Structure 1
Amino acid sequence: MNKLLKLFRILRFIFHDIYFNFRYLPCKQAIHLPILLYSPHFESCRGKIIIKSKSVHFGMIQLGFPNNHSNLDGIIIYNSGGILEFVGDGTFFIGSSSVLSVGKKGYLSFEKNISASQSHFLCDYRMIFHENCTIGSRCTFMDCDFHAIKNIVTGEKKLPYKLVEIGSNNWFGFECMIMKGTSTSDNIIVGSRSLLNKNYQNSTYSILAGSPAKIIKKGYYRDFDDQIFNINKYE
């Protein structure tokens, strides 16, 4: 039944897939339909999509598909002229109720084995995700304030954008907010509803939490190859 449901979801938007792949990719890549879409909403289809991988195969990039904890709202894709890039021989899953927004001069890059659901990626400048990142529901990543503000005394305008760079093997909990200027180490865990807005490069094997976030525990990481644990029976 699950296989039939998955097949139905793929076939339902197959013409969108064909259009999108051949619109953005070279024919030698597009012919494999590496990008699969579920209920896509195209707000703007400018700019570029680049796949840097030695092996391009069917469905390696899945955008908008529901998982066990999300609904069927699909995905909003807005590219007003920037670059959306997928790097590496792995899988890329951006689930339903998500937004991929790339500004006119934006550069949004995902390395292999990214998994996210119901999250917003708002890139007007430069945003980079390194490999093996897991992003919980309703997280927001933004590299720009989208509005300029000035100092009332000097008239100086505050820079409204900065690089966002996420390290490898990062795990973000529910409803995290990642602001411009955030840079994280490899192998970190970010607690639910945390706000990150600075350089956290000295936080490898740590748990960050809070608003703004700080290190609350050291010496921890999430082992995705060892996720089984026993729950004692409630007495």
Structure 2
Amino acid sequence: MKKQIAEFIGTFTLVLLGCGAAVIAGDLIGFAGISLAFGLALIGMAYGIGPVSGCHINPAVSLGAVAAGRMEMGEAVSYIIAQVAGAIVAALVLMAIASGTEAYSVAENGLGQNGWGAGYNGEYSMMAALVFEIVATFLFMVVILGSTGASAPAGFAGLAIGLALVVIHLVGINVTGVSVNPARSIGPALFVGGTALSQLWLFIVAPIIGAVAAGLLFRSGSLDGE
């Protein structure tokens, strides 16, 4: 269970600190600050729990690893359960903290949930959201698989992966709030409900498509993997 506990803690940290930056400090730090919060949280966890579980903290990454031939499906399922549980608990804790001021309400301020369309950030279309999430997750998974491959320089994977997540957020927050991670989307959506819940399917399906496509690319030998 060590690996599953690590994945729970890692996903909890990513969602609490990343979404927390948006909910609690978003007005002060802006999109750049939120982007750094997600990326730095991932870097910290990569070195903190990476030696234990590989620090997937993302169901799409686990399924991408299966597609690449680096993980068995049974283990991936146990990872995904731990990741989703960590994200849900993190969203609950974030809601408890944010509710400590009368200026906050879940209905008005949310929990850093993902979305698209009227009333959400740049009001991008569903198609734009779908394309962004698939492509961004594909590129993210390429960085993950490439930087953790046998021929990659040792010790730098966490930094490369975290910085990639920062850049993805800098580009995509205004489009979807950036998921590239079904667990990160599930946690907040469950408590916010409404539109966040009805749009959740895209943030489950699109990241999985992108990550699995990258995994298959590595498995085919089109890119150097393990």
Q: TM-score range by the shorter chain?
A: under 0.3
| Greater share of strand | 1
Task: Give the structure-1-normalised TM-score.
Answer: 0.22
Task: Give the structure-2-normalised TM-score.
Answer: 0.23
| Greater share of helix | 2
Larger radius of gyration between Structure 1 and Structure 2: 1
